[in-house]
Amino acid sequence: MNKNTLIGSILIAVIVIWWMAVNNANAEAQAAARAAQAKAKTEKQVAADSAKSLVIPSKTPEIKAAPVLGGTDERRGSTGSPTLTKDGSDSVVASEAKQSTAPKAEIAERSVTVETDKFIMTLTNKGAKVKSVIVKALPDSTGKFPELIQDTTLGAFDLKLDNADLSEAMFELGNTPAKIVVNDSAKVQFAFQDANGNQVIRSYGFTKEGPAVRQENKFIGFQPNAYELAWKGGLKETEDIPKSKGFMGIGGGGTYYFSEVVFNDRYSVEREMPREQASFNATEGKVIWAGLRRKYVAMTVQFDEAVPAVLKTKPMKVENSEVDPGTYKLTIADDFRGAQSLSYDLMILPLKWDELSALNKDYEKIIVSGWSWCGADVWFVWICKMLLKLLNLFYSIIPNYGIAIILVTLIVRGITTPFTVKQIKSTRGMAALKPQLDEINVKYRTDPQKKQAAMMELYSKNNINPLASCTGGCLPMLIQMPIFMGLFFVLGRAIELRGAPAFLWISDLSRSDVVWSGISIPIIMPSGLAILPWLMVATTYFQTKVTMNSNAGMDPAQQKMMVWMMPAMMLLFSAVMPSGLVLYWIIGNIWSIAQYKYIYSKFPPVNGNKPAASTKLKGKNVKDAEIVK
């Protein structure tokens, strides 16, 4: 193995590790900068609006019944505090002077559960908010569907109008049944009315098969200046996270399990992991959708058009879990700008590429994205998409994702092999000239100009472009790297591999292939003894050995160190990787061993960089020639 190949191989591992580490650091720095920019504006805006903002009265006013517009899916009802009135400027204020002294009408807390083909959502009349979301796409090993709201007592999508927080207000549900199974479409409507007849009507519209819940908020008798949607309960991880975060935080919750604030600002899909309270989109720009994601699922608020909403986030630690990265409380705030209603879609999205792509909102970039400054948010996402399509194509032919991974790996390696061959041939040509280059260096060591002229004459005589030879070694690796990284990310994040068995003892390609939980190795194998990591170590050892032995330009001590260092590193990383990823690396190692054995048999190295006396170069171009003894 030549130096360029070694450098490229190490570079792949370093970039993957660096990518994971830098994302957290960048997110923290960006969050701090955006929070500082937003602080002055936020304080100024609060001061300007406070005089016209709603104030929750200290006493509960009388609740009057309010008629609600009819319809086959709408309900009638009345609600409780706070009292809302409208002044001459259409701003909303509290008016305790007009409050009735009649006793408060008690409204009991009620819930309604709506089941569609995609999810089961529970709504509560306390704040007319979402209490629970159970997604049907992600059953566990017992067939039980997971809850998506981390804290169901806090729930999601409380409504605040100016300074009036309706999260504790009791809305009327009317005659709505406690359980609704959607056969075509359905609507659940909540109504709030104060003593002065002002109404807030919140409705949720469902379809049988769609991922969206249409949430509409209507304001009758008043017009608020601004709103806030408060998602206080966070988003819960649907998967069991391994007991350890792995070596240097890689693996476990650090790499393959996600907890992010995500939003589409029209230019790119942003994935943020703030370590402290932060604001996004506070000074400029508009968002199309915003929400939270975990490994295999996301929930978002999707607006009908881009709006200049401000996103405020606060980390929310998961109790009794040291490995869960935690979730976030999310607030979406904006001005109404004269509107008397507020509508949007609540999207419940298992992260399956084809289904996300069909929505045409760039949701697939929640799964994998790239740096926009180099266009990677387009071309790298496209590479990942094609690799996943190829994986699913093989699965449609042979319904086994383990075999599909093997076939995809072989095809990717086969496509990149010509680059590897070119790289080796190039370095062999340069190696064949090294003895003559050494003689020139010695002969003209005191005259740089003559040395340069002699070297260029040697290159010209042997039809070698030294610049092309240098780039010929690195360029193939640079071309291969995005493909290898794309396959690495796809296999670590594809929902298709969740719970997918392969063969023999590999029962779930999305998790480590633990065969005996009775034995565990702290940090390395905390969940139990696995087999694939040891196969990874063995194949990495032989792959490194065969390439090192063929690299005559490397110091023997360095070769020996690399032969043992690379397997040790891969053991630390692969033990916490999903088994689908480890299988991919093992097959890649086996391919590399066979590939280098064959290539070096056709293009043998120059022993010690000193050709034998009878050695001659055959062909016009040394870098394309074979060494003939």
Domain count, the chain: 2
Q: Is residue 377 part of a domain?
A: no
**Range from 49-63, 125-139, 295-309, 458-472 carrying the lowest mean pLDDT:** 49-63
Q: What is the largest CA-CA distance in the chain?
A: 113
Rounded Cα–Cα distance for residues 402 and 578 (Å): 12
* pLDDT over 90 (residue 286): yes
Rounded Cα–Cα distance for residues 480 and 23 (Å): 23
Task: Name the residue among 337, 329, 262, 328 with its Cα closest to residue 307.
Answer: 337
Q: Based on the fold, state whether residues 342 and 309 are members of the same structural domain.
A: yes
* pLDDT over 60 (residue 624): no
Question: Residue by residue, what is the 3-state secondary structure of 86-129?
Answer: ECCCCCEECCHHHCCCCCCCCCCCCEEEEECCCEEEEEECECCE
Rounded Cα–Cα distance for residues 36 and 32 (Å): 6
List the structure tokens of 73. 């899916």
Higher pLDDT, 89 or 265: 265
Instruction: Name the band, by pLDDT with cuts 50, 70 and 90, for residue 529.
Output: confident
Rounded Cα–Cα distance for residues 424 and 418 (Å): 10
Instruction: Name the band, by pLDDT with cuts 50, 70 and 90, for residue 323.
Output: confident
Q: Is residue 102 part of a domain?
A: no
Predicted pLDDT of residue 7 = 64
Predicted pLDDT of residue 50 = 33
Q: What is the mean pLDDT of residues 116-131?
A: 96
Q: Based on the fold, state whether residues 623 and 569 are members of the same structural domain.
A: yes
Predicted pLDDT of residue 605 = 59
Q: Based on the fold, state whether residues 362 and 433 are members of the same structural domain.
A: no
Q: What is the mean pLDDT of residues 358-363?
A: 95
Q: Based on the fold, state whether residues 322 and 413 are members of the same structural domain.
A: no
Q: Based on the fold, state whether residues 360 and 500 are members of the same structural domain.
A: no
List the structure tokens of 196. 């002065």
Contact by Cβ (8 Å): 333, 284: no
The domain containing residue 617 runs over which residues?
390-628
Rounded Cα–Cα distance for residues 368 and 377 (Å): 9
**Range from 5-19, 36-50, 238-252, 598-612 carrying the lowest mean pLDDT:** 36-50
Q: Based on the fold, state whether residues 46 and 171 are members of the same structural domain.
A: yes
Q: Is residue 26 part of a domain?
A: yes
**Range from 164-168, 380-384, 612-616 carrying the lowest mean pLDDT:** 612-616
* pLDDT over 80 (residue 402): yes
| Residue % of the chain over a pLDDT of 90 | 38
Instruction: Name the band, by pLDDT with cuts 50, 70 and 90, for residue 620.
Output: very low
67 Rama sector, left if φ>0, alpha if ψ -120 to 50, beta otherwise: beta
Name the pairing type of β-strands 179-181 and 111-115: parallel
Q: What is the mean pLDDT of residues 392-419?
A: 90
Q: Is residue 384 part of a domain?
A: no
* pLDDT over 50 (residue 62): no
Q: Based on the fold, state whether residues 267 and 394 are members of the same structural domain.
A: no
Q: What is the mean pLDDT of residues 485-511?
A: 89
Predicted pLDDT of residue 418 = 81
Contact by Cβ (8 Å): 114, 130: no
Alpha carbon distances (Å) from 248 to 18, 96, 420 = 11, 59, 32
Give first-to-last CA distance, the chain, whole Å: 21
**Helix or strand or coil: residue 280?**
strand
* pLDDT over 50 (residue 423): yes
Q: What is the mean pLDDT of residues 140-156?
A: 93
CATH number, domain of 116, equals 2.70.98.90
Predicted pLDDT of residue 370 = 86
Alpha carbon distances (Å) from 483 to 387, 477, 479, 571 = 8, 10, 8, 23
Mean pLDDT value across the chain: 78
Q: Based on the fold, state whether residues 347 and 223 are members of the same structural domain.
A: yes
* Residue ending a domain, choose from 319, 335, 367: 367
**Range from 22-26, 152-156, 564-568 carrying the lowest mean pLDDT:** 22-26
Higher pLDDT, 92 or 109: 109
Q: What is the DSSP string of 438-500?
A: HHHHHHTTT-HHHHHHHHHHHHHHTT--HHHHHHHHHHHHHHHHHHHHHHHHHHHH-GGGTT-
* pLDDT over 50 (residue 199): yes
Which residue in the block uniquely carries the two structure tokens 């927080």? 165
Q: Based on the fold, state whether residues 305 and 405 are members of the same structural domain.
A: no
- Pick the most confident of 45-49, 302-306, 371-375, 600-604: 302-306
Contacts of 105 (CB under 8 A, 6+ apart): 62, 63, 78, 80
Q: Based on the fold, state whether residues 242 and 349 are members of the same structural domain.
A: yes
Instruction: Name the band, by pLDDT with cuts 50, 70 and 90, for residue 52.
Output: very low
Higher pLDDT, 487 or 111: 111
Instruction: Name the band, by pLDDT with cuts 50, 70 and 90, for residue 231.
Output: very high
Q: Based on the fold, state whether residues 143 and 175 are members of the same structural domain.
A: yes
Rounded Cα–Cα distance for residues 171 and 194 (Å): 11
Tell whether omega for the bond before 82 is within 30 degrees of 0, i.e. cis. yes
Q: Based on the fold, state whether residues 484 and 451 are members of the same structural domain.
A: yes
| Beta-carbon count within 10 A of 454 CB | 18
* pLDDT over 50 (residue 289): yes
For the stretch 453-487, pLDDT in tens is 888 888 778 776 666 555 555 666 677 788 888 88
Contact by Cβ (8 Å): 486, 387: yes
Q: Is residue 9 part of a domain?
A: no
Which residue in the block uniquely carries the two structure tokens 């004269």? 338
Q: What is the mean pLDDT of residues 593-617?
A: 59
* Residue ending a domain, choose from 332, 367, 402: 367
Higher pLDDT, 561 or 323: 323
**Helix or strand or coil: residue 607?**
helix
> Residue 349 phi/psi, 5° resolution?
-130, 95
Instruction: Name the band, by pLDDT with cuts 50, 70 and 90, for residue 55.
Output: very low
> What DSSP state is assigned to residue 361?
S
- Pick the most confident of 104-108, 415-419, 571-575: 415-419
Higher pLDDT, 444 or 166: 166
Q: Is residue 409 part of a domain?
A: yes
List the structure tokens of 598. 């064959």
Q: Is residue 610 part of a domain?
A: yes
